[in-house]
Structure 1
Amino acid sequence: MSLSRILPPIILGGAGFSHQVHRNPNSAQALQVLKRAFQLGLRAIDTSAYYHPSEILLGEALSHPDITSHYTRDQYLLMTKVGRITADQFDYSPAWIRQSVLRSSERLRTQYLDVVFCHDVEFVPEEEVVEAVGVLFRMVEEGHIKYVGISSYRIDILGRIAQRVQEEYSRSLDIVQNWAQLTLQNNTLAEDGLEAFKEAGVSCVCSSSPLAIGLLRSNGVPVGDLGDFHPAPRGLRLAAKEAADYVATQGDDLAALALRYSIRRAQSLSTPDFRVTTIMGITTVSELEENLATAGLVLQVSDRLRWLWNADSGSWVGVDSYRTKKDKELSLAVKNILGEWYGYCFPSPGDGWDLSTKKPKTVSA
């Protein structure tokens, strides 16, 4: 079955259970969030081996009796990533790709993975990515994986690799993932990328980081155990803070507005055969409930998220026209406040990265 037919419009992001964005991620936190997410109908999870210890914590939670006594494996989707090991370490060799997939399955305590992405492909030579995708395709045939994708901040590289994969293997990638470019601050994914993906036969696009890794909120970027890793320069951070303050004066919250914008935009770009979904980073039950309540305002959820798509009519449920009008007005105001920072793209991998060695450049004394 095409992934576009089963992938839900909202996905729970597993980076919230990592040292990058959370202080002291733990198994109790993961179990509480998953239990509540499953109760509310949110049954798709995206993580990565890089988001350590996310896979381990999720595996412990998914194997807990509170989950296994109520849900079977076929009732939820698991997506993870391979290739990126640490902030400055990558391994796209065929042997490691295979080992990483098997390790992720063991950590997540599952017999198969629904989706595996090659992680942050802009940091390695494209030919290595294409070769790694071939390994994943073989693991699909072996039953370890169901669908294969690639992830990157760089939309141009995603499109180019998707085309190369189609030419090399006479089959298409199932899905691509892009982050922080279908947001109130950056709409590049909608403006430049989707058509190239469609031409390469891709049927699903995951838009992650609707808040641009916490930039678009009132309390600043998140700081986990590994410190402040956010790529936003000071000027953009100040502009985002000004936007958050303005939205607050209008009786709203920038994070909620940004999430509504991203979800609404993703659904407007979706069709039955081409799905654009939103990955929400979640760290606590209260955050989960707030985000799903916000999503419900856009998607008009009456019960559970899995019922948002009406398969009989082949259409999404309608949106609140009054809220849409108010959100458009606020979104325009935010865009004006951001000014020159609207549409700004983070450098990835940046001038300090050596693509041939897949390592930071050595600085001469």
Structure 2
Amino acid sequence: MKELLFQRHRRLRSSESMRAMVRETQLSTDDLIYPIFVVEGNNIKNEVGSMPGVYQVSLDHLSVELEELVDLGIRSVLLFGVPKDKDEVGTQAYCETGIVQEAIRKIKKEFPEMLTVADTCLCEYTSHGHCGVIKDGDVLNDESLELIVQTAVSQAKAGADIIAPSNMMDGFVAAIRKGLDEAGFVNIPIMSYAVKYASAFYGPFRDAAGSAPQFGDRKTYQMDPANRLEALREAESDVREGADFLIVKPALSYMDIMRDVKNNFHVPVVAYNVSGEYAMVKAAAQNGWIDEKRIVLEKLTSMKRAGADIIITYAAKDVARWLSE
């Protein structure tokens, strides 16, 4: 018999059942964290213009939002606060009665099994929109850390399950770990925005959170998109300082970075499928240019294949519905 010159790889693709049996990467609702923008006030449910299907909600609408997530099998949320009043030092970020702190208390009272992740930063609360204290036009690192630690501790006191600092100040993980431990929260993990690029993909988020810088940009503390090795330095220092999770943000344009982080560190890796990525898909789908379901599921599966253990995504509700079909 003449020797075959090729292999028949298609044997393992012959049916849906066969493809499912040999599938290497699985996406499930347990992988998903859904971001929520909580605003001060009453009877507020404002759709974010640049993020169709995403809303700013007041506390009185939060329960309905959480009920929907529970019904869909989504068990984790990431909270962002949108306060009425802002000042130079972001006082509402670390206020005991701040909007995020109140939202955490409400969630833990009404939905105690919902894993509550608190975004820990100052940009949504400062009048200038930067992630720290400003002096002579510069963002001060060490002075900002003091307020970020206060924010983390106040969120933990309110009942947050995970602290997720996104400020990108040098030493922020070490400072927060020390602050949490001294306050008695030794068992609260830190989900560090370890690898956060100064990306153009954040625009719609800034509409939702009201956090656009009023001057300059964030390039002095967020990472240069051209750099790869810098991501490993950032992640290494965060792990050494006590990070329990490492976030790569954005996700879609940084799959190579995600794989590098996964290969080099033995903690869960989190992909942040950011607002600009979400908005592009929504816009194209609304114009009938793409199959939204197939695009989103392929995109999130590729993030898992690249090394993500967890995915923060504004599409979590849609994904949960599609996965249940």
Report the TM range for the smaller structure's normalisation: 0.5 to 0.7
Hey, what does 2:230 align to over in structure 1? 160
Which 5+ residue runs of structure 1 have no aligned equivalent? Answer: 1-6, 122-128, 183-187, 219-239, 283-287, 298-365
Residue 268, structure 1, aligned to residue 300, structure 2: no
CA drift of 1:135 comes to 0.5
Distance across 2 between alignment mates of 1:24 and 1:112:
20
The whole-number CA distance in structure 2 between the counterparts of 1:106 and 1:37 is 25
| 1:9 match | 31
What is the rounded CA distance, in whole Å, between the counterparts of 1:61 and 1:167 in structure 2?
Answer: 31
Is 1:177 the counterpart of 2:204? The answer is: no
Equivalent residue runs for 1:188-337 within 5 Å: 188-196=253-261, 198-209=263-274, 212-218=277-283, 240=284, 244-247=287-290, 252=291, 254=292, 256-270=293-307, 275-281=308-314, 289-296=317-324
Secondary structure at the residue paired with 2:164?
strand
Q: Deviations over 1:193-243 (max 9, x none)?
A: 42145325553122222761412114xxxxxxxxxxxxxxxxxxxxx47x9
How many Å apart are 1:293 and its aligned residue?
0.5
What amino acid is aligned across from residue 264 of structure 1 in structure 2?
T
Structure 1 CA distance, aligned partners of 2:30 and 2:39?
Answer: 21
1:114 is matched with 162
Distance 2:229 2:267 in 1: 10
The normalised TM-score by structure 1 is: 0.51
Give the whole-Å Cα distance in 2 for the aligned partners of 1:163 and 1:57: 34
**CA separation of 1:99 and 1:20: change in aligned 2, threshold 3 A:** farther
Classify 1:137/1:161 alpha carbon distance in 2 versus 1 (closer, same or farther; 3 Å).
Answer: farther
- Aligned residue identity for 1:12: Y
Q: Provide the rounded CA distance (Å) in 1 between the counterparts of 2:294 and 2:274.
A: 14
Superposition map of 1:90-169 within 5 A: 90-91=131-132, 93-103=141-151, 106=154, 110-119=158-167, 121=168, 129-142=169-182, 143-144=184-185, 145-150=188-193, 152-153=196-197, 154=223, 160=230, 162-164=232-234, 166=236
Distance in structure 1 (CA, Å) of the matches to 2:322 and 2:276: 13
Task: Look at both structures and tell me which one has the larger radius of gyration over its CA atoms.
Answer: 2
Partner of 1:361: none
The alignment status of 1:26 with 2:58, answered yes or no, reads yes
Partners of 1:46 and 1:78 within 8 A in 2: yes
Equivalences, count: 237
Counterpart in the other structure of 2:79:
47
The CA distance in 2 between the partners of 1:137 and 1:197, in whole Å, is 22
Work out the percentage of aligned pairs sharing the same amino acid: 9
Q: Is the 8 A contact 2:249 2:274 kept in 1?
A: yes
Answer yes or no: is the 8 Å Cα contact 1:208–1:280 preserved in 2: yes
Within the candidate set 84, 95, 102, 2:123 is matched to 84
In the TM superposition, residue 109 of structure 1 has moved relative to its aligned partner by 6.5
Report the residue type matching 1:279 in the other structure.
I
Change (3 A) 1:75 1:140: same
**Greater relative contact order structure (CA < 8 Å, 6+ sep):** 1
User: How far has the Cα of 1:95 moved from its partner?
Assistant: 4.8
Conservation of the 8 A alpha-carbon contact between 1:93 and 1:132: no
Looking at structure 1, the residues matched to 34 and 80 of structure 2 have their Cα atoms a distance apart, in angstroms, of: 12
Deviations 1:114-172 (A, max 9, x none): 132233x3xxxxxxx33222202313433444224125235666862552563598456
> What amino acid is the match of 2:130?
Q
**Hey, what's the Cα distance between the residues in 2 that align with 1:281 and 1:68?**
24
**Letter of the structure 1 residue corresponding to residue 73 of structure 2:** G
Partner SS for 2:279: coil
In the alignment, the residues of structure 2 paired with residue 215 and residue 135 of structure 1 have an alpha-carbon distance, to the nearest angstrom, of 36
TM-score normalised by the chain length of structure 2: 0.56
Write out per-residue CA displacement over residues 245-296 of structure 1, whole angstroms, 9 at most, x where no aligned residue: 233xxxx4x3x333212222233334xxxx43222227xxxxx754420244
Letter in 2 for 1:207: Y
